[in-house]
Structure formats: structure tokens, C-alpha cells
Amino acid sequence: MNRRIADQLNRSSLYFVIYLLILAPAVFDAEARGQGTIADYDRADRLAETARGKVFRDRVTPHWFAGNDRFWYRVDLAEGVKEFLVVDAIKKERSPAFDHFALAQTLAKESAKSIDPKKLPFDRIAFDDDGSIRFEFDGKAWKYDRTKNTITTGEKLPAADLLSEPPAESGRGRGREPRGLREQPDSPRGADSPDGAWTVKIQDNNVLLIDKKSKAETKLTSEGTDSDAYESGVYWFPDSSRFVAIRTAKGDDRKVHLVQSSPADRLQPKLLSYDYLKPGDRVPISKPHLFEIATKKEIPIADTLFSNPYEINHIRIRKDGGEFTFVYNGRGHQVLRVVGVDARTGATRAVIDETSKTFIDYAHKQFAYYFDDTNEIIWMSERDGWNHLYLIDRTTGYVKNQITRGEWIVRGIDKIDEARREIWFRAGGLVAGQDPYYIHYCRIAFDGSGLVDLTPGDGTHEITYSPDRRYYLDRYSRVDLPPVVDLRRTDDGALLIEVERGDWSALLATSWRAPERFVSKGRDGVVDIYGVIIRPTNFDPSHKYPVIESIYAGPQGSFVPKRFAPYLPMQSLAELGFIVVQIDGMGTSNRSKAFHDVCCKNLADAGFPDRILWLKAAAAKYPYLDLTRVGIYGGSAGGQNSLGALLWHGDFYKVAVSDCGCHDNRMDKIWWNELWMGWPIGPHYAEQSNVVVAHKLTGKLLLMVGELDHNVDPASTMQVVNALIKADKDFDLLVVPGVDHGGGGKYAERRRRDFFVRHLLKVEPRSR
């Protein structure tokens, strides 16, 4: 062996020793802890399928009998096992719909086939008046006499949608909060007068009145132009004496332009464009104009009370014809006003005048319901600091009484019962000691008396009424409690019987871990901040875990999961060796007005002071949360927030993945940003822009964006890229061709997971 070879071997041996002493322990320790290994990726990829079909008795689909005192339903269990049950509301009993074993034996004898009583070969049944049961099997219709235990061929079952009464009213939101009753429809809009004598036509942008009998035409206006035109379709007064026409001045014609780099139908790129107003742009301005038939003239309306609208809507003509009203939403969203216009003089008055020094959330907390016979309005307002309902005298504008009150909020209206003068609504924060984000269904009288919580159970609720609304099924759950289904009486909310309680034993047997609900104090030391903690299935409290926060701090709602779900995408991320959390900080909605107002002209705040305190409180209780390794990710507003975490709080957050972020609120859609950041556009817009402060970047950043994003202008991300390059900052960028907002799919998901594994676990990803 010559000296050169010997020296090379000595150096190789030295490198190997260094690897064993310094590098290998870190890799081996990460693998020993089950963090970022091939097995972790495999388990993460299989987690959704592993959890699928592992929870039973978690929902009830009722088929009500005539009279609406009983219903039957089917329970589907593991391996095809099923049960048919009947619930009797009067007797408060739940029992098998028939003897499954006896039916199976008899059916096997009649059909000469083997029948398993636990796996009956049909899914639907129908009850005859004599109590017999009909079902279909083996291409035939059968009738089972439960008393005589006999089976004969019978009539086919009705169509599936006829097995019960017509669909009962439901409070279910298909995993989301139900919309419920939004607003009454506007007064009808059309060309012809109610008495059939007149028609209105828009000709050359102006109003033309036509006598339908004589065909005589009268031009009522001449000031309409292409840029400021009258709209077709007018609002007629009931007696045909007057009508209201809307004239709209066009706003800015801003378009966003996108390049589709890789279209499927050709080689060359495509240029795509779409309309997209941004904060500060000139909006279309619509205003009502009143015309009188007898004089064939316009009755002038002074616009003092609606001079600068963001929008004007909900045109309603009072049944007696004396007045029409509309809702004026002022630019800047600090004035929301019901304006009344005298039909004879055009004089205006503020029927309801809602103002705020911050903002009025017209998009989510506006509700008005008009009663012509009593001249009343039910009105939603946060004027006392909480979102509540008020009964307004439509004639005077005075508050007759506050309908709901207290340190809780109305989340939505489901039904207005004019005859009984009752409101059916959803509430949040109603039950002391429960999570204030849980939805409860309630009923109350117009005068504020007789409040009934129909759903007192500790969880978030959804309900389904019987066809006559005398009973309802209350289904509630929490992230750590599978659904419970109760049958209750509508009059008083009394519990009649627990129909089903979710069975999650098979899910727990897979080592599945329920998210933990965690609460700590916010920045003021008083308000509770709610979130969830998600651990991997192979969690070991003796190990240290990096923490990743899933963030979406959009002020339009609250986002921490509340309902039970066997699988959340955050759980797959945790499976790689992380603790994953989600938190609703100050500035988000569904709490008090003061809680919400933190976001006003302050979206960069994103509740971070509350989030960081929450994480520190969690780490104080659970020392295995390693707050020296904190990551964060989100999309859209969450993309803005996740990058903002590194820019504004880089001492705490170390790694961020930001997808399709609205990084500069001047670049994003007008309604969302002007509502929370205000109008006119002030210096605070630039001061809070991720683009402007991009030079402050610390930590590791992955930016992602779809090139065909129609929700948030993708240029918002590219402007961040430009600023980071100018600041000589290192970062990663993924532009996904051909996809829309947040549409990166499995590839983008893999890149996000790998980014956290590489930079928080300090091991090379094993995703491939």
C-alpha cells in the first residue's frame, strides 16, 4: 500500500468517526423517536383510510310514521351488520323494528337462500297500516307479517324519497354552519304594473313609460348614459301609482390577467382575464329614483342619507304604499342604515341608523325582517357589544325591546313564526362553562321572553325536526366526543330518549388520538383563547416534539374544528413527528364585538399575541412541546398570516409554508379588505404589507401559489418574491401550473410536509 492510499484511508476513517460521534446520533435519534421516517410517512399517508368506517351509531336518518309520533331508522355497523329500529316518542322507547332472527329464518325458508340475521340483504323497509313490513330482496318484493311470522310476496316499495314524510326541516350544515334564514326577498321587480295598465322599458339607458292600452309612450328621464344608466326591472307600488327605478353609475373596470402556461388543448400559453375590484377602486354606485304615474314625473329624493354607498339593496315597498325602504351600506362599512322614503314627497328618514367606529360586519351579521301588518322590524346589531336581535318600531325607528341579550351571540336565524311571534335561532356562548363557539339551537318570543335552549348538551349541535316540528333529533359532538343523538320535544326542549351514542371503539383500537381541547388566557389576561392540540398516534411524552400551527386568521369567522371527525388533515402532518395546533386568536369572529374589533385596520396582528401566549401555556403544561422549533402554515388569509409570523414574530416562529397568500391587502378583493382594513386606503395598508416588510424575513420560508388563482391575485405572491430577492433573502418557491386558489393537490402537500421535516426535524424527508 503506498502512502497516498494510506492517507486517504486515514482521512476516510476520521470522517466516519466524526459521522458516528456527531451526525449519526441526530439521525438515529430522529428515527428512534419516529420523526420523519419512512414508516412515519407511510402511516401518515394511510391515516385517512385507517380512520375510515371506524365510527358507528353516530347518526340517525329518521323515517317518520303517520302521526309523527314514531320513526324508524337503520344502523350500519362493521362488516355489513345492520339493525332496523323504531323509536316511539310517546312511550320514550327505542326497540327493534322487528325480530331480525325470526325474519331471517323465515326469509331463508321462503327464498331457499342462506340469510344472516345480522346482515339482512336489504337496506330499505316500508311499514303497512297493519304493521307488516315490506322490503325488496333477490329481485322480488316481500311482505313480512311480524305477528304471524310469515313472509309472502308483496308490492314493491315506493321510491326512496317516499319512504317517509317530505323532508323535515333540518339544521344540518353538511359539516359547516347552516346558512339558515338570511333575508326576506325584496319587493317584486318587473316591468308591468300590478293593475296591468302600464309597463316600464329602459331605452337608451333611460326610463320609458308605456300605456299598455293606448301604446302611448312617455320618456320620463333623459340623463341616463352608458356609464350611468337606469336598470331594467322596476319596483311597483301595490296600487300601481308609483314605481322605483334603480340607476347605477359604473365603477372602475379593473381586471386581473393570468397566464396559463401549460393549457391542455394547445402548446402555446393562454392569457386569461377576469373582473376584480381591489381596495380603493371606484365601485358601481346604485341609487333609487321614484316616479309618479299621475304626473308622469320623477319625485326627487335627496341622497343626504345615502350619499356614498358601497351598496344599496333590499328595496321594500310597504304594503300600504306610503313608503319604501332600502338598506344603505356606506363605503367604509361604518354606517348601515335603513332609509325610508315618503312615497308622496320623496322625503327621507333614517328608520334604523347603525354606526360603528370600527366596522359593521354586514357580510355575516346583517339581518332584517319586516312586518307590514304591525310596522315592526327584527334587526340584528352588535350595538351592545354582542351580536343580538332587536324589535324596532318601523314608524318611529325606536327600539320596542331588545329580544336577545347577554354575553353571548346570535349565530343565525332559522325561522320567524309571525303567528306565534317567535324566533328560532342559533346561538354561541349561551351555556356557561361550554366552549363559546359551540352552536346551540334556541327559541324566543319577540318580546324577549321564553328563551329555550333546545340543545343543552356539551358540544356543537345540529338538529332535524319531525315534519310537524313537534319533535326533533339533536345531534351533538366535540372533537373529543363522537356524536350523540337525542330525541327531544320541541315545546320545552325536554329530553325524551337518547337514540344513539357514537361508538368509536374500533377507531381507538387503531391507536387514533382525539384532538385535545386547550384553553388559555389571551393578551388581556381575561379573555379565554380556544384551540386544539393534535398528537401523533405513536406519541411518547418522554420525547421532544417540534410544534406546527395551522393558521387561518380571517376575520370573517372562527376556524378551530369543533365537531367530531375521525380524520383531520392536521393529523397526517402530526404523524410525521410533530405536535400540530390550531387556535382562534383575537380579531376573528363569533365572540364579542371587542374581540372582533382587534382586526380593525390591523390584519397583520392576526391574533399572534394570543397565539404565542396560548402556545407558551400549552408548553408549560406539556414540556414535550419544543418551542425552540415552531413552524406555521396556512393558505389565502392563512398564507398572509403564516408569512407574517416570520416577518413580525421571527423570534418565535422559525419555519413557514405560505400558500396563495393575500400578502398585501391593496392587492386583494375589495369587499373583504375594505371591510376589515377600512376605507379610504390609508398608510396602514402599506405598513402591514408582507411585501413592504419582506426584508425582515428570518427563518425558513416556502411560498406556494397556483398560476390560475381567481380568488387572490397570484401577483400578490410574486411581489413578495420580488421583494425577497431585492433584500437578498433565501426562500423556496413553488408555482403550480394550471391550478386555482389552493389547488396544489398532493404534490404541494408533499412539499409542505417535506419542508417541515427538513427544517424542524433536521432530517432528510423520506416521502419518496
- Per-residue pLDDT reduced to its tens digit, 316-373: 999 999 999 999 999 999 999 999 999 999 999 999 999 999 999 999 999 999 999 9
pLDDT band, very low/low/confident/very high, at 23 (cuts 50, 70, 90): very low
Region 85-106: what's the mean pLDDT?
A: 97
- CA angle, 734 as apex, 728 and 739 as ends, to 5°? 140
Among 280, 279, 260, smallest CA distance to 268 is for: 260
Per-residue confidence (pLDDT) for residue 565, from 0 to 100: 98
Per-residue confidence (pLDDT) for residue 767, from 0 to 100: 72
Grid cell in block for residue 130: 297493519
pLDDT band, very low/low/confident/very high, at 9 (cuts 50, 70, 90): very low
Residue 264 has pLDDT above 90, yes or no: yes
CA–CA distance, 641 with 614 (Å, rounded to integer)? 17
Residue 695 has pLDDT above 60, yes or no: yes
Residue 574 has pLDDT above 50, yes or no: yes
Among 44, 65, 34, smallest CA distance to 129 is for: 65
Among 27, 66, 22, 1, smallest CA distance to 763 is for: 27
Kindly state the percentage of the chain with pLDDT values over 90. 89
Per-residue confidence (pLDDT) for residue 34, from 0 to 100: 54
Q: What three-state secondary structure class fits 20? A: helix
Per-residue confidence (pLDDT) for residue 7, from 0 to 100: 56
Per-residue confidence (pLDDT) for residue 175, from 0 to 100: 44
Q: What three-state secondary structure class fits 375? A: coil
CA–CA distance, 132 with 199 (Å, rounded to integer)? 61
pLDDT band, very low/low/confident/very high, at 184 (cuts 50, 70, 90): confident
CA 624 to chain centre: 33
CA–CA distance, 107 with 102 (Å, rounded to integer)? 8
pLDDT band, very low/low/confident/very high, at 613 (cuts 50, 70, 90): very high
- Per-residue pLDDT reduced to its tens digit, 643-690: 999 999 999 999 999 999 999 999 999 999 999 999 999 999 999 999
Residue 67 has pLDDT above 70, yes or no: yes
Answer yes or no: are the C-beta atoms of 518 and 533 closer than 8 Å.
Answer: yes
User: In one letter, which amino acid is 717?
Assistant: T
- CA angle, 322 as apex, 317 and 326 as ends, to 5°? 35
- Per-residue pLDDT reduced to its tens digit, 123-151: 999 999 888 999 999 989 999 999 999 99
Strands 234-236 and 422-428 come out as unpaired
The tally of CA atoms less than 13 A away on the side-chain side of residue 315 is 20
Q: Was domain 510-761 assigned CATH 3.10.105.10? A: no
Residue boundaries of the structural domains of the chain? 63-162, 510-761
Helical pair 608-621 and 637-648, crossing angle rounded to 10 deg: 70
